[in-house]
Structure formats: structure tokens, C-alpha cells
């Protein structure tokens, strides 16, 4: 899968908009959002927003978010694992 160079430029702009004192949780949610959106490039799915991803994981504690991120990273498809685990809970 080819990732357009403009995607990384847009990502840098979005990261610059995050508050300087962003919490660890906010940065974790941003990492989830970035990983999901990279897989959505060139598909019928629109890019996920930070708010959408945050809404899905709002009930999880930070330790659970780290666990979830690790599980998704080990999988062949980050977003399938992400949504699959959340669906099963």
C-alpha cells in the first residue's frame, strides 16, 4: 500500500495543533487515529477523526489503552483488530 506524501504533511499540521501540554491519553488516542487512518488510505472508508476514536475508547483506562495498542500492533491489520476487540467488549 502506497502512502501519499501529502498524508504525512497533513499529519504534521494536525500534530502541531495539539495543545503543548497534551495528556498521555490524548497522545495515545492520536496514535490510534493515525494508525487507523494509514490503513484507510485508498479504501472506501473516510479518515477517522480524533473525536470518533476517543468516543470508542472513552470507557478504557490508560493501562487498557496500552494493552489494546500492543494487541493491534501485533496483528496483521491494526484497524480490524482495534474494532474487533472493541466489538467483543
Cell numbers standing for residue 66: 496500552
Mean pLDDT on 36-51: 92
Q: Element (H or E) spanning 63, and its range? A: helix 62-74
**Containing structural domain, residue 75:** 5-88
The number of folded domains in the chain is: 1
Neighbour tally for 5: CB within 10 Å: 8
Mean pLDDT on 4-21: 64
Confidence check: pLDDT of 16 > 60: no
How many Å apart are CA 65 and CA 3, to the nearest integer? Answer: 26
Q: What percentage of the chain has pLDDT greater than the value 70?
A: 75
Instruction: Please report the pLDDT score of residue 23 as a whole number.
Output: 86
Mean pLDDT on 9-15: 66
DSSP letter (8 states) at residue 22: -
pLDDT tens-digit map of 69-85: 999 999 999 999 999 99
Amino acid at each position: 500500500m502506497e502512502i501519499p506524501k501529502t498524508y504525512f504533511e497533513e499529519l504534521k499540521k494536525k500534530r502541531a495543533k495539539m495543545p503543548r501540554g497534551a495528556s498521555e491519553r490524548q497522545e495515545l488516542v492520536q496514535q490510534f487515529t493515525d494508525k487507523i487512518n494509514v490503513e484507510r488510505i485508498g479504501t472506501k472508508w473516510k479518515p477517522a477523526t480524533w473525536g470518533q476514536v476517543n468516543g470508542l475508547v472513552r470507557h478504557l483506562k490508560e493501562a487498557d489503552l496500552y494493552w489494546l495498542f500492543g494487541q493491534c500492533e501485533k496483528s496483521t491489520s491494526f484497524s480490524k483488530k482495534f474494532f474487533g476487540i472493541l466489538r467483543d467488549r
